[in-house]
A and B are shown apart, each in its own frame.
Chain A
Amino acid sequence: MTEPLLELRDLDTEIAVRRGAVHALDGVSLRVMPGETLGIVGESGSGKTMTALSIMGLLPSGGRVTGGEILFEGRDLRSLPPDEVRRIRGVRMGMVFQDPFTSLNPTMRIGAQVAEPLRVHEKAGRAEARERAVEILRRVGMPRPDRIAGNYPHELSGGMRQRVAIAMALSCSPRLLIADEPTTALDVTTQRQILELIDDLREELGMAVILVTHDLGVIAGRADRVAVMYAGRVVETAATRELFRAPRHRYTEALLESLPEAADGERLYSIPGLPPDLSQPLTGCRFAPRCRHVTDECRAADIPLTGDTHQFACLHPAANQDQLHARVRPERAPAAERPPLLSIRGLVKNYGQVSAVADVSFDVAPGETFGLVGESGCGKSTVGRLAVGLERPSAGRITLDGTDIAGLSGRERRRMHRQVQLMFQDSYAAMNPRMRVDAILAEPLEIQKVGDRRARIDTLLDQVGLSRQVLERYPHEFSGGQLQRIGLARSLALHPRLIVGDEPVSALDVSIQAQVLNLMRDLQQELGLAYVFISHDLSVVDYMADRIGVMYLGKLVEVGPAGDVVRNARHPYTRALIDAVPTIDAPTVEGLTADGRARERIAIEGELPSALNPPTGCRFRTRCPLAAEICETEPPLTGDTHQVACHFPLRPARASGAEVAHQ
């Protein structure tokens, strides 16, 4: 058996805080074999990033490894002199960080940053280092690398910067690449390009990769083996395919069930409660307080990892049987033909020269969920802000319940706000930090002069499942999921008929996300709410929405029933977007290949054009594999229930709806 490249033995890491210490890692043991990809997956606070930083010796101030061994190529990094460790870090390992926008030195040219390790570690001359840097930049897929070498980071897009970061990590041909959430800050289509690049480079250079992520889909497509972390410990490790097929630890099982794409009925499984506070001493299984299968034994003593190739630390593991099953998603009954609650026609919003929203039209029926998806900068959030009246459109009409909101007087406008409410991505930012929750919830009632606030607030708390005690607290005392509940309660205060949610669950961990999504659905049924659900995450929108609109660079390119748009996309952009989303779907549905990797998909290349000067005609034509001359004229949105704005739709409209020009 070959020696592992990296082996962690009982690693303990602590972070000193104001009072006491957070035990970020507790007895973490892992192995990485040469040339393999190990995925480390976990929610925020699980210790996945701390594991990566501990290996690299880059813990934040106050952090230090307090116990265990870090064996790299057979030597314990903890017992080596600091200069030696520094050299190993620079030459034998490389790391790519999460945020490409802040990870590069803003005032140093790209070429110099990539060449720096060569200059320092290999004592390369200036010219030689530069030449090799350009070569590495070419290798990571930079167009015109010799020119890019003279640029500064802010002149590049996020995806390009992440390529630079990879080039930098690879400059000395390391044996181990640690990628910490390398694509979390990027759009899905860019994410796909970056993940593929890392995969290719691994094969070509024969290095090992540790891929740290919260996204199970990313892991499923890329890793050979997976380690699942929870509250500072590794709870399960196995070959990727094995883990997703038959998770044994009850946490892994619950996590997989919380994914929106795993939903087979109307509800997601949601893990109750919150992860434990790591500054307190803990005994027993750390997942016990949230586990469905907990017994007294689980709380009595620490539970070690057991098993051979598939290890897990659970006393009551799930049965070793295939848990991936073809998902049967019930088609939701289309909303009855009723006059639309919200009707948007020809909506345009320009900020100076920038065309943010360009001629967007759609309807939302009462009680319906309309999903709006697209990548960053596509204008979906602007549509949301226009719909709730936070901004005024440059052109176009927004009608709410048959009334044009542009023509409203001040008083009527204020009353209009009772009908529509906005739900924010970051509820913390959307709450005045100096107001207590009671004041926050009372504010809409005060503004609209609605009586009996006390009773209304009590009802709201019941609806979102929070206790009365939250009223005396301040926003900073709550976790993300709780804040999102409070935000939802505030949105509901005025009995709105429509809630526009702008990425309402994007900042949440999977298990918490499931709680909030379920709550939103329950409330919809209870109160007959309509939602405009804005998100970059196609699987969440697919789970939530009755109908979906896809936006690209200010345009609505496709709109139709959720199932049709996701499974029978007609616009090439929609198709590329769907293909770029990494999922863990069962083989029967999406066709995992034998080695557990996802099947090949259709990709788009290149970068999003600037909204300052968008392409004429179809705005997607500059990146579209099907584009032809006719695409320089703008395609209208056509179709009956499933509409598409494309000269060459991927498939004809379904028989039920003949191809009829829109309106």
Chain B
Amino acid sequence: MVRYLVTRVGQAIVVIVLVTVIAFLILHLLPGGAARATLGKEATLDQLAAFNHEMGYDKPWFQQYFLYLRRLVTGDFGYSYQLNQSVAEAITQRLPKTIVLSLLSTVLAVLVAIPLGVIQAVRRNRSADYVITSLSLLAYATPIFFMGLLMIILFSQVWPVLPPEAPQGFTVGEVLAEPAGLVLPVVTLAIVTIAVYSRYVRSSMVDNLNENYVRTARSKGLPEWRVVLVHTLRNGLFPVIGLLGMYLPALFSGALVVESLFNFPGMGQLFWQAALKRDFPILLGVTVVVTIATVAGSLVADLLYAAADPRVRLRRNVS
């Protein structure tokens, strides 16, 4: 277990370092580079040179990278001229709200997806299974923003019970103070997640229901609910813990779209506005932070999985 922990954390660190390299390369090795992109097509060569010198972009690229890395480690992500504030400041304002949005919809998704998946597995190839499968597939095939829009039309226009815009609070507390405004963004983000999770829970449960140990449990004369909920569900859910980590990148991508649609003041919206204005310090900073959040989240999920499943937990202990 200890060895597993060390290896897994080591991998995560390697991955984060690689991510900074990738982010750095994307910005600097593409034609035109950051200067052209920031200053626009009309910028003169002199302006470009001046910009590059100011940012240290005229040094050899590996030096630039270490410069960049050193700034990252100290929390210096650069300065956004568009917002007239430091990138770190902009991110610290927005990040907690995005985490709240993602967390709420993940919790909702898990709470809905597990029962759905279990019902599908138990009633597999019957009508309930087909209906839920079709709905999940439909949810999966619908672009999130279209789904969100349909929600707005339904619940803000046709049957006006919820506001179509997210709370505009500055802090997490202020955002949470307007729960009605949170409903549509959270539910929209959760729907696609539910589709993915329930499909996964279903297949994991079906696999486990076909295992020999389930037959053994039945041979003990246990009631069917006990066979499903005590024996199968636990084994079926272990892999889902891992999925929570694997799904994080998709969840954040979804949050980007949802925040843009509902005007939710989180990191996704920050990123979106920065992209439209070609505000590169923000774009790179957010990308790196979101990625670190992803890596950290997957790490936590993997470790939780390893700690929860005795097969993993004890095997690592022995060897």
Q: Tell me which of B211, B235, B314 contacts A154 (CB under 8 A).
A: B314
B307-319 CB mask vs A (1 if < 8 Å, else 0) is: 0011100110000
One of A90, A99, A106 near B235 (C-beta < 8 A):
A106
Which residues of A, 102-143, contact B by the 8 Å Cβ criterion?
102-108, 116-117, 120-121
Q: State in angstroms the CA–CA spacing of A94 and B221 once bound together.
A: 9
Chain B residue at smallest Cβ distance from A154: B311
- In the complex, A87→B223 CA distance in Å? 9
CB within 8 Å of B: which of A36-91? 56, 58, 83, 86-91
Distance to closest chain B CB from A6 (angstroms): 16
Chain A, Cβ-Cβ closest to B213: A105
Determine if B220 and A99 form an interchain contact, defined as CB atoms under 8 angstroms apart. Answer: no
Shortest A425–chain B CB gap in Å is: 22
Q: Are A105's CB and B217's CB within 8 A?
A: yes
Knowing A102-B211, A106-B311, A154-B315, say if A97 contacts B221 (CB, 8 Å).
no
- Residue of B212, B223, B234, B314 near A102 (CB, 8 A) is B212
- Contact in complex: A89, B235 (CB < 8 Å): no
Is the CB–CB distance between A99 and B311 below 8 Å?
Answer: no
Measured between alpha carbons, how far is A58 from B218 in the docked complex, in Å?
7
Residues of B within 8 A of A165 (CB): 216
Q: B226 interface residue, CB < 8 Å from A? A: yes
Q: How far is the CA of A89 from the CA of B224 in the complex (A)?
A: 13
Whose C-beta in chain B lies nearest to the C-beta of A100?
B212
Count residues of A near B (Cβ-Cβ below 8 Å): 30
- Which residues of the partner chain A approach B272 to less than 8 Å between Cβ atoms? none
A242 to chain B, nearest CB (A): 32
* A107 with B216: CB separation less than 8 A: no
Q: Does A551 contact B (CB under 8 A)?
A: no
Interface presence of A550 (CB below 8 A): no
Nearest residue (CB) in A for B223 is A86
The residue in chain A whose Cβ has the minimal distance to the Cβ of B212 is: A102
Partner of A103, one of B216, B234, B310, B314: B216
State how many angstroms separate the Cβ of B264 from the closest Cβ of chain A. 39
CB distance from A115 to the nearest CB of B (A): 11
Rounded to whole Å, the gap between the CB of B312 and the closest CB of chain A is: 10
Tell me if A108 and B231 are in contact (CB < 8 A).
yes
Q: Hey, which chain A residues are within 8 Å of B315, CB to CB?
A: 154
Mask of B198-213 contacts with A, CB within 8 angstroms, 1/0: 0000000000000111
| B123 interface residue per 8 A CB criterion | no
Q: Is the CB of A120 within 8 A of B314?
A: no
Cβ contacts under 8 Å, A104 to chain B: 213, 216
If the complex has contacts A88-B221, A155-B314, are A99 and B231 also in contact, measured as CB distance less than 8 A? no
**B238 contacts partner chain A, Cβ-Cβ < 8 Å:** yes
Alpha-carbon distance between A152 and B216 when the two chains are bound, in angstroms: 16
Residue among A87, A97, A105, A154 with most chain B CB within 10 A: A105
Among residues 175 to 192 in chain A, which have CB atoms less than 8 Å away from a CB atom of chain B? none
Of all chain A residues, the one with the shortest Cβ separation from B319 is A612
Complex: how many Å from CA A117 to CA B311?
24
CA distance A175 to B196 in the complex (A): 48
**Is B22 engaged at the interface, CB distance under 8 Å to the other chain?**
no
A311 to B288, CA, bound (A): 80
Q: Which of B216, B220, B235 has the most CB of A within 10 A?
A: B220
Q: A88-B221, A91-B221, A155-B314 are in contact. Are A58 and B235 (CB under 8 A)?
A: no
Instruction: Give the residues in chain B near A108, CB-CB below 8 Å.
Output: 231, 234
What is the CA–CA distance of A136 and B235 in the complex, to the nearest angstrom? 26
Interface string of B178-220 (1 = CB under 8 A from A): 0000000000000000000000000000000001110111111
Give the residues from 90 to 120 in chain B that come closer than 8 angstroms, CB to CB, to chain A: none
Report Cα–Cα, A634/B37, bound state, in Å. 77
| Chain A CB within 10 Å, residue with most, of B219, B223, B226 | B219
Closest to A102 in B: B212
User: Are A120 and B238 neighbours in the complex by a CB distance under 8 Å?
Assistant: no
Query: How far apart are B215's CB and chain A's nearest CB, in angstroms?
Result: 6
A90 to B238, CA, bound (A): 28
Q: Who on chain A is nearest to B209 by CB?
A: A61
User: A residues within 8 A CB of B215?
Assistant: 58, 97, 103
Q: Is B222 an interface residue (CB 8 A)?
A: yes
Bound CA span A95–B217, Å: 10
Residues of A within 8 A of B221 (CB): 86-91, 117, 120-121
C-alpha spacing A87/B219, complex, angstroms: 10
Q: Mark B277-319, 1 if CB is under 8 A from A, else 0.
A: 0000000000000000000000000000000011100110000
Give B221's nearest chain A residue, CB to CB: A90
Which listed residue (A90, A99, A102) contacts B222, Cβ 8 A? Answer: A90
Of A58, A107, A168, which one neighbours B234 at CB under 8 angstroms? A107
- For the complex, give the distance between the alpha carbons of A102 and B207 in Å: 13
Q: Is the CB of A168 within 8 A of B220?
A: yes
Q: Is there contact, CB below 8 Å, between B212 and A120?
A: no
Smallest beta-carbon distance B313→chain A, Å:
9
Contacting residues, chain A, for B217 (C-beta < 8 A): 105, 116
- Alpha-carbon distance between A474 and B160 when the two chains are bound, in angstroms: 63
The 8 closest A-B pairs by CB, nearest first: A90-B221, A102-B212, A89-B221, A95-B219, A105-B213, A117-B220, A152-B310, A103-B212
Supply 7 further A-B pairs (C-beta < 8 A) apart from A90-B221, A120-B226, A169-B219.
Answer: A58-B218, A86-B222, A86-B223, A89-B220, A99-B212, A103-B216, A105-B213
CB-defined A-B contacts under 8 Å, sample of 9? A58-B218, A97-B212, A102-B211, A105-B231, A120-B223, A155-B314, A168-B216, A168-B220, A169-B219
